[in-house]
Amino acid sequence: MATSLTKERLLCAEKSLCRVPKVHSADDSTLMARLAAGNLQALGILYERHAGFVYRVAYRFLGNEEDARDITQSVFVTILQSARRYRPEARLTSWIYRIVVNRCFNQRSKASRRLRRFPGDRVVEQMPDDQKNQPDQLLDLARQKARLLAAISRLPRRQRMALILSRFEGQSYEQIAASLGCTKSSVESLLFRARRALEKSFFK
């Protein structure tokens, strides 16, 4: 019941965003303070500002649009519920990345026995028919991308997440370490092993 009410408040925050200017000068810490005081417009602004990268990371890790949307909603429900306990000792985005990582790991564990299709499996399927029938570099490129995404999906979860945060989100080793809750040297090791595994997948 409490979770349902919280999701309703999140929906209200999204709707309230439509009634405020699109330029928001308040920084994340100020918005979190406003949210802690009960201002749902602050949550709407935070959602507009950060939902994009939350969805990207979840989708690239899980390979499923519905799961990625669920993770995104879950993350912002957590932000709403934890606003009063938040302390701006680090950037809000670092805290959000950590929440996303944990949610993705938990979701992957729940879905481990279900067959998943990674987005790479759909790269060729979603191409226009006239492009599918062209035996040229475009089709070859799509197939290579599909192979790469499929290979990434087979990596151990911490290697996969480290690679996603580094390659697609542009995070530094220090930022990835904060997101994964490990040391910088552990991140270096994870990325090294991930790249070695991908090389073997492509050149075996």
Q: What is the distance between the alpha carbons of residues 176 and 28, in angstroms, rounded to a whole number? A: 20
Summarize the confidence of residues 137-149 as an average pLDDT: 72
Summarize the confidence of residues 139-149 as an average pLDDT: 73
Nearest residue to 161 via CA among 199, 198, 194: 194
Instruction: State CA 125 to chain mean position distance.
Output: 24
Summarize the confidence of residues 175-204 as an average pLDDT: 91
C-alpha separations of 44 from 9, 12, 48, 192 in Å: 10, 8, 6, 38
Nearest residue to 112 via CA among 68, 71, 153: 153
Question: Is 168 part of a structural domain of the chain?
Answer: no
Question: Structure pTM?
Answer: 0.75
Task: Please report, for the domain that includes residue 38, its CATH number.
Answer: 1.10.1740.10
User: Does the pLDDT value for residue 18 go beyond 50?
Assistant: no
107 vs 67 pLDDT, higher one: 67
pLDDT for position 131: 45
Question: Is 150 part of a structural domain of the chain?
Answer: no
**Residues 98-125 as b or e (16 or more Cβ within 10 Å = b):** ebbbebbeebbeeeeeeeeebbbeebee
Summarize the confidence of residues 137-162 as an average pLDDT: 82
Domain tally, the chain: 1
Question: Is 19 part of a structural domain of the chain?
Answer: yes
Nearest residue to 108 via CA among 169, 53, 168, 67: 67
Question: Is 111 part of a structural domain of the chain?
Answer: yes
User: Does the pLDDT value for residue 191 go beyond 90?
Assistant: yes
Question: Is 149 part of a structural domain of the chain?
Answer: no
Question: Is 186 part of a structural domain of the chain?
Answer: no
- The pair of three-digit structure tokens given for residue 133, joined into one six-digit string: 């029938």
Lowest mean pLDDT among 100-104, 150-154, 168-172: 150-154
